[in-house]
Amino acid sequence: MLGITGSVGMGKTTAAKAFARLGFPVFDADASVRELLTNHAPTIAAVRRAFPTVVRDGAVDRKALAAVVFNDAAALERLEGILHKRVRTAEKQFLAAAKKFGARMAVLDVPLLFETGGEKRVDATIVVSAPAAVQRVRVLSRRGMTATRLRAMRARQMSDREKRRRATFVIDTGAGKAQMTREIRRVIGILLPE
């Protein structure tokens, strides 16, 4: 099992998609959170109890929720308490299915892999990384993103330097998709030698 992570704007989603294109099942923790907040009644009810103003028309308004928790560490911790255990359950179901179907390797795409101790659940870790200037351009091109929000996001995440230090492998996403894919294939060759 392989865990893939990286700071905001480093190309984690693009790298995870490359693994999927190469035939490996990928669990997307962010997609799991979106599904829970949109379609999972017990999660929506728990969020409503913790944050009554953010549930509208039977689903969690993620923008409203983000506004509530973005600068409130206690609120963010409450939200993580609701979500992390449920995402972990979805991850376990994904891994059971991957094993059942004989996957040679499953990939866990988890933004907070190191921050939540997730590296203990995998055999190896990949950190995707890019130069800070590339990261900045990528993130600031997103709708609604500002330099202030980017600084706040960076402050809440483990530093890229620390993630790189902890990683089994580091994939540079700053040199383009073709180079990234070559690096991914090299890692696969190391982890799954023929």
Condensed to tens digits (0 to 9), the pLDDT of residues 95-142 reads 999 999 999 999 999 988 998 899 999 999 999 999 988 888 888 888
% residues pLDDT > 90 (the chain): 69
Q: Look at residue 85 and give its three-state secondary structure.
A: helix
> pTM of the entire structure?
0.88
Q: Is the pLDDT of residue 91 over 90?
A: yes
Note the pLDDT of residue 88.
93
CB of 162 closer than 8 Å to CB of 80: no
Tell me the two tokens of residue 107. Answer: 């990939």
Domain ranges of the chain: 1-24+106-194, 26-103
Question: Is the CATH code 3.20.20.10 the one for domain 1-24+106-194?
Answer: no
The 10s digit of each residue's pLDDT in 34-64 is 999 999 999 999 999 999 999 988 889 998 9
pLDDT at 21 over 90: yes
Which residues does 78 contact at the CB level (< 8 Å), separation at least 6? 50, 51
| CATH topology agreement for domains 1-24+106-194 and 26-103 | yes
User: Each residue of 126-147: b (16+ CB within 10 Å) or e?
Assistant: bbbbbeeebbeebbeeeeeeee
Closest CA to 163 of 120, 112, 87: 112
One CATH from 3.30.413.10, 1.10.3720.10, 3.40.50.450, 3.40.50.300 for 26-103? 3.40.50.300
**Phi then psi dihedrals of residue 27, to 5 deg:** -95, 120
